[in-house]
Structure 1
């Protein structure tokens, strides 16, 4: 999935890697949700993304269930890629390096969120509309 390693993580790296994501990768991200969530919550650097991670996972879950389909594949692939990148302990900067190990994970997640921000807002609007309908 991660192909040739680059020394620098930038927007182009993330875009290129996202285009390589397939349905099987989304399944892997879904199956490893708890481990990914634990890494986000237990990393000081990624902790601020814990709530966004929950929203991203919710979108992925609702997409896989077929109840939320108004989302581009690039958004789904961006979520899956960022989750799989976080899950991989031996990525560009290995997670076991104290103080540095999560810098690349943080960068990948930050770039992915830039790409999908408006889609996350649309998803949250959809969730609110559907929760109001269900409550009535």
Structure 2
């Protein structure tokens, strides 16, 4: 009768995270991104890349992080122009959230510290996946031209 009996306990903070980190939360943050925030992401590329590479739960996003930074650089140089601002803002939110050590679940908590980072990255990736594929196709075309 493990599942039949209802418990009156309050849910843990981790269980409540689904309510705090959802698409609406991330979308709200994306709509508030400014050019200066993108500059902060670019200035912290090394720290963000290191965190993505060294935190085992985030490691699968290390290559995606490189692609996101490459896209931001090409947009900033003006060589890649077919990316919507929403995509740039989504990348900035995701990477700034990963960089921030004081997020909803602090990263130093073993086992669960990166759950919120994963949630924000996953939500953002779901939104921008098509644009990332378009960017990679463009890069391949540019490489073939060279």
Tell me the equivalent position of 1:117: 129
Question: What are the superposed Cα offsets for residues 22-54 of structure 1, whole Å, 9 maximum, x if unpaired?
Answer: 000000000000000011011111101111111
Runs of 4+ in structure 1 off by over 3 angstroms are: none
For structure 1, list consecutive stretches of 5 or more residues without a partner in the other structure: 1-5
The answer to whether residue 45 in structure 2 is matched with residue 33 in structure 1 is yes
Q: How much does 1:111 deviate?
A: 0.4
Residues 99-118 of structure 1: pairs in structure 2 closer than 5 A = 99-118=111-130
Tell me the equivalent position of 1:3: none
Larger radius of gyration: 2
SS in 2 for 1:46: helix
| Aligned match for 1:19, one of 24, 31, 37 | 31
TM-score (normalised: structure 2): 0.86
CA distance in 2 between counterparts of 1:16 and 1:8 reads: 12
CA distance in 2 between counterparts of 1:80 and 1:122 reads: 18
Tell me the equivalent position of 1:43: 55
CA distance in 1 between counterparts of 2:81 and 2:97 reads: 24
TM-score (normalised: structure 1): 0.92
CA distance in 1 between counterparts of 2:94 and 2:77 reads: 20
- What number of residue pairs does the alignment pair up? 129
SS in 2 for 1:27: helix
Q: How much does 1:98 deviate?
A: 1.1
Residues 1-136 of structure 1: pairs in structure 2 closer than 5 A = 8-134=20-146
For structure 2, list consecutive stretches of 5 or more residues without a partner in the other structure: 1-16
